[in-house]
Chains A and B, each alone.
Chain A
Amino acid sequence: MAKPSRQHPDDARFDDEFLKKLDYLYIVSRKMAASGQRAKRQKKIVGSGLDFADYRVYSPGDDVKSLDWRVYSRTERLFLKLYEEEEDLHIYFLVDASRSMHLGQPNKWNYARQVAAALAYIGLSNLDRVSIIPFSSKVEGRLPPAKGKAQIFKIFNFLDACDAGEHTSLRQAFKTFVSQNKRRGLAVVISDFYDPDGIEEGLNALRYHRFEPMVIQLFDERELNLDFHGEVQIVDCETDEARDITVTPAMLKAYREVFEEFCTELEGYCKSRQILYFRAPIQQPFDELILRVFRAGGFLK
């Protein structure tokens, strides 16, 4: 369970100023939805819907009321008629709370919870069911799906109470997540994706369990523009792994190239699997990122 955290003075607060920004973002989202930039999320489920969707072969135990006898008369085979039934969209915000997200001040965690809160507010405004799940190598807690704008304060409180987790493991965390959440929906993953085991297994777990992943990769520009030179021992903040290196301008350049390569790999993976992908430095105002998400059209319905 998430522990109460001591907020740093530099951390963004969910105050009136923040709420004003959220309202502004909500108005913007409404305009975008009206202009057709919206997602199409229709569930093909057997339900009380009126719109015919499809057939499927009858299996023992199915409700015989849904059998299409006309088709049986023609084909002498039993088919069930399927109808589309709309339901509330579940949006799951999988927010990385590992130690790498808490490094530095201001840090990525602070930025991530702002982004999560903003998107959650938009989701709640659209009457979606929003759930917040912080994770590291495991699921660090869970705010159950809730509906209605009034739930935003619960989200604020929940995010404020979250503390740093352990090391990052998307595979383990998302495996737990999919086993705990049977209701499919949009899975917004906000993370730096610094997972030594890679990101594919974790995201694939979401995909395989019919969640619709959306990736927001955060990074800190200070990680690229390092302020140390010479002989140093770098220590991984999550694994405590130490390496002795001599930081030279050439080394820094190589590091930036490797980081760019890392980001490109992640982006390439997402694009190849039609996963929405956004990358943003935490030095960028969070509302700009939100607007980019809106413009990309995968979040508003």
Chain B
Amino acid sequence: MQWTGLPIATVLGVAGFVAVFITLLYLLRLRKRRVQVPYSALWGRVLAEKKRQTDWWRRFKRLLSWLLFMIIAALITVAALGPRSADEVVEGRHLLIMLDTSASMGATDVTGGLNRFEVARTQALELLGSVGGDDRVMVALFNNRVMPLGPFVRETQPLEAALRAATLSANATDFRQALSFARDSLRDRGQAELIVLSDGAGLQNLDLSEFDPGEAVRVRHIAPGERSENLAITGFNARRYPSNRLDHEVFVEVSSTFDRPVEARLELLSEGRIIETLPLELSANQVHRQFYPGQAFAGERLEARVRVMTADAEDVFPLDDRAYAVLPQARKLRVQVVSTGNLFLEGPLLLNTHIEVTRVNPERYDPQAEFDVTFFDNVAPTLPVSGDLVFFNPPAESSPIAIRDVDDEPILTDVASSHPLMRWINLQDLNIARTSTFRREASDTAVASAFGQAVIVDRELDGRRLIAVGFDLRESDFPLRVAFPIFILNIIDYLAQDDVDLMYAFETGRSVQIPVARDIEEARVTAPDGEVRSAAIHRGEAVFYTDQPGFYVLTPGGGEPVAVAANLASPEESRIAPSELQLGEREVSRDAAGLVFERREIWIWLVLLAMGLLLLEWLTYNRRWTE
């Protein structure tokens, strides 16, 4: 037997006091009210008829009440000591409850709650309500990040309040991060238990054995969810054709997790208007990819919707039935070509309908004129007041980038293929009669080099970009190659930051960085639900968090609003079939059996026994069995 309650000295002291107190009360009860009667002999006759018991029994009855009270006091005293059996573990546990708040927990395929999250939260609250007095509990929410609600604490009421205030997110699940957090939190904790309340969506084919928290930690995974029927848009993308900025191609990926064929309808909307409707017949667990080529829209908000049309089929996870995208506004660039005349250079520029080309003779060149990009062909006059700069074969005496040397028939040996200027370009076997090589500075980027000598250089100059090409186009076969117009287009896109791949669509649960003007100091973000938040400005970028699918509108202070889209875009999250957590060979319990704090609380039985004796004493006293 071990004692886990109050200190023995305290209990004995209190018990002694209580015993004396009870005895005093008992003696006081024995002091009965005195009543004078004229002739007690009559009462003697009454008592003689009523009482047949022997003297010792009467004395015993007098003591019986006192004895019962003393037994009751003794029982309560022992109960206060908190008796437990010798083999019972009384050390407090460390319980880490990880509650999944990812999007898939919003599936409604559960009984006993609105969705999986509600069921899991109810289970978590029940667990909190059943922990023992010595247990320490930590609760952490997780989706694609982990949010602990506090440290390990004994008092669970604040945790319960925080848990009730927790909301479901629209994010994917990062089990690696969650389990890593759990492993670190439970390290070196005694009687540690990890309880993961998650549907396991995203666990499929995930090897998490490296996150095994160790043998000392008991792991449980309780997965709410009963079904897997879901129809989701797992991919939604639109890209611009490089040749025509007005033409886009839209890609939609529809995934079915129904285990039977279903009929569906896919809708494509632009600015809220349906522009395409496509009926689909999806076989069991089919992934259907749909392309919409030649869609002529720009600067518009796109939305794709899919819905189940089979009458008896139900999509239990509607969050991923919609996907969103925003196409950037195509703007017309003003380009100045300072040249005595170079059709090789002007040709690709003139082909692009989104470029307004102005050719200026070097003699008439005005540095004060404002252009987005200025091409200098074999000249290097005074730099213009604004816009980015592109130099082809700048003269050595006035080149903005110092010319190191002049090479004849150079061979381009090093090309920075990852540089935006080199996208889709191959400069192999490019023939150049003569080129200048540039003296690079530390911040310069050599886009193409001949044996270490920079031939094409990219430099940042007072917030502007400067690109210098060391050779004259007319002294190379570069203009004759297919790559040349693409190179010119790359230059324009790079300088205008008008990337054809730049799609303003993000995953929910991520921080989004949107470039803003450098003088912008504040920006506001309007979320899909209409809530307006402040966006942080950092190094020319507005940063904000996307926690729900839909369109976010960033309004920089004094600037034009910019819309971005956020999507769940997680095929793993859309596979809502409950999955079991596997930690290698490690045994993972699947239920809460034995988790509820159930100690053999002897004190409760002692108190109940005391109450029973109290009741017995009351009954016997009122029936005059005891005195």
Contact = CB atoms under 8 A, between A and B. Distances in A.
Contacts, number: 81
A230 B622 CA distance: 10
Contacts of A245: 43, 46-47
Contacts of B46: 245, 251, 254-255, 258
Contacts of A230: 33
Contacts of B50: 251, 254
Nearest to A259: B42
A29 to B, nearest CB: 32
A242 B31 CA distance: 12
Interface in B28-47: 29, 32-47
A230 B627 CA distance: 11
Interface string A225-267: 0001011111111110111111010010011001100100000
A111 interface: no
B49 interface: yes
Contact of B42 (A228, A238, A262): A262
B33 A194 contact: no
A223 B32 contact: no
Interface string A100-128: 10010000000000000000000000000
A192 interface: yes
A61 interface: no
Given A254-B49, A255-B46, A258-B45, A233 B33 contact: yes
Of A230, A242, A245, A248, which is in contact with the most chain B CB atoms at under 10 Å from its CB? A245
Contacts of A259: 42
A194 B38 contact: yes
A232 B33 CA distance: 5
How many A residues touch the partner, as a band? 20 to 34
B624 interface: yes
A228 B33 CA distance: 10
Nearest to A104: B38
Nearest to A251: B46
A196 interface: yes
A169 to B, nearest CB: 13
Nearest to B49: A254
B38 A233 contact: no
A231 B38 contact: no
B43 A255 contact: yes
A223 B45 contact: no
A251 B47 CA distance: 8
Contact of A243 (B29, B33, B38, B47): B47
A232 B32 contact: yes
A258 B47 CA distance: 11
Contact of A248 (B41, B43, B624): B624
A68 to B, nearest CB: 56
A262 B43 CA distance: 12
B42 A258 contact: yes
A234 B49 contact: no
B37 A234 contact: yes
A300 B224 CA distance: 109
B37 A233 contact: no
Of A234, A237, A242, which is in contact with the most chain B CB atoms at under 10 Å from its CB? A234
A262 B38 CA distance: 14
A65 B416 CA distance: 185
Contacts of B38: 100, 103, 192, 194, 220, 223, 236-238
A255 B624 contact: no
A117 B29 CA distance: 47
B35 A233 contact: yes
Nearest to A239: B40
A140 B299 CA distance: 131
Contacts of A233: 32-35
Contacts of B37: 103, 223, 234-237
Nearest to A247: B35
A196 B41 contact: yes
B285 to A, nearest CB: 83
Nearest to B51: A245
A261 to B, nearest CB: 8
**Which 4 residue pairs spanning A and B have beta carbons closest together?**
A236-B40, A194-B39, A100-B38, A233-B32
Given A196-B41, A255-B42, 7 more contacts: A232-B35, A233-B32, A234-B35, A235-B35, A236-B39, A237-B38, A251-B46
Interface of B: 29, 32-47, 49-50, 624, 627
5 contacts: A192-B39, A231-B627, A237-B36, A251-B50, A262-B42
